[in-house]
Amino acid sequence: MSLRQWLKQSLREAAARAVQTDDAKAPAESQVMRRREARPVEYVATLPPEVLTAAHDVAYDWEYGEKRADLRTLYEKSKDLMWNAKKDLAWDTDVDPEREIVSDAFNPIYGTDVWKKLDPKTEVPRLRRHMTSYILSNFLHGEQGALLATSQIVEGAKTTDAKLYAAAQVFDEARHVEAYNRYLTEKVELVYPPSPHLKQLLDTVLTDSRWDFKFLGMQILIEGVALGAFGLIHQTAQEPLIKQITHMIMQDEARHVAFGVMQLKGHYTEMPESELRDREEFIVESSRLLRDRFLAQEVWATVGLPQAECEAAAQSSVMMQMFRKLLFSKIVPNVKRLGLLTPRVRRGFEDLEVIEYESWEASA
């Protein structure tokens, strides 16, 4: 089955499940939307505020004129497309977190023997809520990481053109944090901590002193995977509010990835071999972390499922393998565009089975 066929099949199955769920309701409930009573927000783990020590250059640019027309154009586009997370989203939408908000196909154990053993009336709805929370919580934590990293880019950028666009992106990231946090706390009423894979990568990006690592790690890799995931969720989501939120955020993220490509193009052409080796290793290792963050190991113990069995099922799931591969559809062509698809990186992408995307269109 191709990726396109898998996506179409997932859409058909999700639509069929939605119809079956509606038909199963009592007549009065199916005709009149009943709002759920709000519950206290559950936190799977409460983490204290954390302080990292970061060392990076801070740059002035005393010549404020335009040097990069492409960045100024991107900056103007960002201003034109700004939106208000409080006013422009349909927060009065009633959301049942135990229904299929995010397609069941995104559950790592969907369709496996473990899934088939679950009680469809009790265990499946509970797992849906936890999986929705896990996915969206990690989006939320990634957006906070982007908020911090882009703030550092404002400080370190050498030109006013880059500083202005990065400042606009900071505001984008603030909206994304606001929107995801509100959806999780008001609609899903359940929040997961960041996955260890994502946290490790965010820490690396935020504490590394080299400016290009912040672009490469955040704008190309983390935002690139997020853009791929957002596209799949937007196409398969059954719940209108998360579909709207995802659509708005996708527009912003496309600009963010393009900014990274614009800033890094040509930077690696004459880089010494020893320094280039650091970037190659960073790309390969970060890609593995990003792939594995979607296996949701933290969910199984929380909901009381056998962890080893679920992890084995997730690793062998054909649908999950396709999903994790498709997430790299933006990363691979952008890495190639930057001249970083070296033999070493190519081998890494071949091991991840995502090299097929090298001929796809880059972001800028």
The domain spanning residue 173 has which CATH number?
A: 1.10.620.20
Distance CA 345, CA 261 (A): 17
Instruction: Give the pair of three-digit tokens for residue 68.
Output: 């990069």
Is 10 contained in some domain?
no
Q: Please give the residue range of the domain that contains residue 229.
A: 69-359
Is 14 contained in some domain?
no
Closest CA to 89 of 239, 194, 192, 232: 239
Is 104 contained in some domain?
yes
Is 57 contained in some domain?
no
What are the per-10-residue average pLDDT scores of the chain (364 residues)? 56 54 45 57 92 94 97 98 98 97 90 94 97 96 98 97 98 99 98 95 96 95 92 92 98 96 94 96 95 87 93 86 88 96 97 95 86
Is 141 contained in some domain?
yes
Is 61 contained in some domain?
no
pLDDT of residue 318: 83
Is 35 contained in some domain?
no
Three-class secondary structure of residue 328 per DSSP: helix
CB distance 134 to 109 below 8 Å: no
Distance CA 139, CA 235 (A): 17
Distance CA 204, CA 180 (A): 23
pLDDT of residue 31: 36
Closest CA to 183 of 239, 100, 127, 255: 239
CB distance 257 to 245 below 8 Å: no
Tell me how many domains the chain contains. 1
pLDDT of residue 294: 78
CB distance 258 to 74 below 8 Å: yes
Q: Report how far apart, in Å, the C-alpha atoms of 224 and of each of 122, 146, 208, 252, 257 are.
A: 36, 12, 20, 12, 6
What residue type is 141 in one-letter code? H
CB distance 79 to 280 below 8 Å: no
DSSP-derived secondary structure for 123-145 = HHHHHHHHHHHHHHHHHHHHHHH
Q: Report how far apart, in Å, the C-alpha atoms of 275 and of each of 170, 213, 219, 268, 279 are.
A: 29, 11, 20, 9, 7
Helices (H) then strands (E): counts for the chain: 16, 2
Mention every residue, 6+ apart, whose C-beta is less than 8 A from residue 194.
Answer: 137, 138, 141, 142, 202
pLDDT of residue 25: 46
Question: Which residue in the block uniquely carries the two structure tokens 């034109």?
Answer: 80
Kindly state the DSSP code that residue 361 receives in the 8-state scheme. Answer: P
pLDDT of residue 272: 96
Is 38 contained in some domain?
no
Instruction: Give the pair of three-digit tokens for residue 313.
Output: 């099922």
CB distance 105 to 236 below 8 Å: yes
CB distance 226 to 260 below 8 Å: no
Q: How far apart are the first and last CA of the chain?
A: 30
